[in-house]
Amino acid sequence: MAAEKMLPQIFKFVDQNVESYKALLKEAVAIPSVSCDPKYRKECIRMAHWMQNKLKEVGASTELRDVGFQTIDGNEIQLPPVVVGSLGNDPKKNTICVYGHLDVQPALKSDGWESEPFELVERDNKLYGRGATDDKGPVLGWLHAINAYKGIGEELPVNLKFIFECMEESGSEGLDELLMEKLKPEGFFDTVDYVCISDNYWLGTTKPCITYGLRGISYYFLEVECAKMDLHSGVYGGTVHEAMSDLIYLMNTLVDKDGKILITDIYKSVAPLLESEKKLYNSIDFDPEAYRKSIEAHKLPHNGVKEELLMHRWRFPSLSLHGIEGAAFQPGAKTVIPGKVIGKFSIRIVPNQEPEEVEKLVFDYIHKKWAERGSPNKMRITAQSGRAWTENPDHPHYQAAARATRLIYQTEPDMSREGGSIPVTITLQEASGRNVLLLPMGAGDDMAHSQNEKLNVRNYIEGIKLFAAYLYEVGKLPK
């Protein structure tokens, strides 16, 4: 069927099935697949099985690939399997490899959610729930787009390959090895022509974008131990070198009040800013004041200048302090000296910083500061890292995605980069040797990782249409 007829029929089909799309997202959100907490590991495994069944229902052949174990505090814990699948193998059609993740960040109602985080609730045309936008909604979007072709009795315009994991929020453990040491030698990528990931967001709330860069992440666990147990501060205070004081000292040496990272030589390998690149930021649709208001921040750094803010989000590294395990974080005046505390911080790394080089700089710096501190306590630092990624946005693949976006949103998408990280992106680029593209579904105010994460009904539904149109446009690219 010609495009002029087929796509409108698909869009109509999507509009007629909105309630079933919401119901499926509700089912997915109800599985608390929190990957960072071993307590929820069974749920991550359940999530992988759930996804495998959903893929089977759309006709894909699938398998669950074992990626082994993770060591936490000396204990081996089973990693969730990776869902690998394929749908169609017509040699005349292009093949797209779609990646997404079904694990989520932790969430408790008591963190400040207005409703239960693992119960999808609709308020004001927004679907609230942990994972709604990151990344369960977009992953389900692919299933719905495939189903829409089936629903109107049309063949898919492309072959599809799928990689869905349940450990992305925790460093994608085991996935790189699966891709490079198993799937690639087995020939999984031999037929892949394009790679597409929908796991990021628009820059703002109205204008769609297509994304060609991600920062990497280098995440640190900084542990200080002063005693084998927690101690009464009235009984022991004044008689021990406290772990928490040491940790706060170390953490306070990392970054200044304006966000400048204080680690020696950390900026040395950051790619220099080219004159041609500077111009790109100018044309991006980004309103610093609306951004400030959306997070209710008092003042933005870099004097709130749009270009500076975008550069510090996309192409310069940033260091964030995340929290302290073992600290008394609950309400109330707990008078304890923690025996062991683990400080958590991360650096979003950028081209041309390599994780190994950054880790070495951080370890050397922390050991130097520790020596200066002269504490008798035990200190240990460990890291897990993923690389930054950039792609060529002038590729026909990006032009196809731009055509699909224009069709759905009647506007030219911004070509954006993203401050967040999806560690496997660069591995997919290397494993396939193909152009990789990020096609976001959600809006910039979706509050992924935060309280009251949501996905606008409009973004979900138009996003499904966008995926269907993208499949069509890539189907038209020369083989």
Ligand X SMILES: NCC(=O)N[C@@H](Cc1c[nH]cn1)C(=O)O
CB closer to ligand X, 117 vs 475: 117
Residue 173 binding ligand X, by CB under 6 A: no
Query: Which span sits near Zn ion by CB under 5 A: 24-32, 135-143, 181-189, 386-394?
Result: 135-143
Q: Count Cα atoms within 13 angstroms, Cβ side, for 353.
A: 28
When CB distances are held under 5 to 8 angstroms depending on the partner's kind, the choice from Zn ion, ligand X, none that residue 171 binds is: ligand X
Residue 134 binding Zn ion, by CB under 5 A: yes
Residue from 13, 128, 219, 365 that binds ligand X (CB under 6 A)? 219
Integer Cα distance of 37 and 106 in angstroms: 8
Residues 6+ apart with CB under 8 A from 141: 198, 441, 460, 463, 464, 467
Residue 134 binding ligand X, by CB under 6 A: yes
CB closer to ligand X, 131 vs 475: 131
CB closer to ligand X, 135 vs 223: 135
When CB distances are held under 5 to 8 angstroms depending on the partner's kind, the choice from ligand X, Zn ion, none that residue 217 binds is: ligand X
Residue 345 binding ligand X, by CB under 6 A: no
C-alpha distances in Å from residue 256, one per residue of 248, 260, 321: 14, 5, 12
Q: What are the φ/ψ torsions at residue 219 (nearest 5 degrees)?
A: -105, 135
Integer Cα distance of 187 and 174 in angstroms: 19
Name the 3-class secondary structure at 289: helix
What number of chain residues touch ligand X (CB under 6 A)? 12
CB closer to Zn ion, 43 vs 134: 134
352 cis-preceded (ω within 30 degrees of 0): yes
CA–centroid distance for 110 within its chain: 24
CB closer to Zn ion, 134 vs 165: 134
- Separate counts of helices (H) and strands (E) for the chain: 15, 20
Contact 35, 170 (CB under 8 A): yes
Q: What are the φ/ψ torsions at residue 48 (nearest 5 degrees)?
A: -65, -40
Residue nearest to ligand X (CB): 420
Element (H, E) at 249: helix 243-251
Q: Among residues 359, 362, 355, which one has the least CA distance to residue 253?
A: 362
- Active site residue: 103, 246, 391, 418, which one? 103
- Write down the residue that tokens 């979706």 correspond to: 446
In the complex, the smallest distance separating the C-beta of residue 104 from ligand X, rounded to whole angstroms, is: 9
159 cis-preceded (ω within 30 degrees of 0): no
CB closer to Zn ion, 167 vs 247: 167
Integer Cα distance of 61 and 154 in angstroms: 19
Judged by CB under 5 A, the chain residues 167 through 206 that form the site for Zn ion are 199
CB atoms within 10 A of CB 345: 19
- Amino acid at the residue 447: M
Longest dimension (CA), the chain: 81
In the complex, the smallest distance separating the C-beta of residue 451 from Zn ion, rounded to whole angstroms, is: 14
Binding mask 414-453 for ligand X (x = CB under 6 A): ------xxx-------------------------------
In the complex, the smallest distance separating the C-beta of residue 224 from Zn ion, rounded to whole angstroms, is: 28
Residue 171 binding ligand X, by CB under 6 A: yes
Residues contributing to the annotated binding site for Mn(2+)? 101, 134, 169, 199, 449
Residue 35 binding ligand X, by CB under 6 A: no
Name the 3-class secondary structure at 72: strand
Respond yes or no: is residue 103 known to be catalytic: yes
CB atoms within 10 A of CB 466: 25
Residue from 33, 80, 120, 135 that binds Zn ion (CB under 5 A)? 135
In the complex, the smallest distance separating the C-beta of residue 420 from Zn ion, rounded to whole angstroms, is: 7
Residue 95 binding ligand X, by CB under 6 A: no
- Active site residue: 135, 154, 165, 168, which one? 168
In the complex, the smallest distance separating the C-beta of residue 169 from ligand X, rounded to whole angstroms, is: 5
| Footprint of Zn ion (CB under 5 A) | 134-135, 199
**Would you please indicate which residues are annotated as catalytic (active-site) residues?**
103, 168
Residues that bind ligand X (CB under 6 A): 134-135, 168-169, 171, 199-200, 217, 219, 420-422
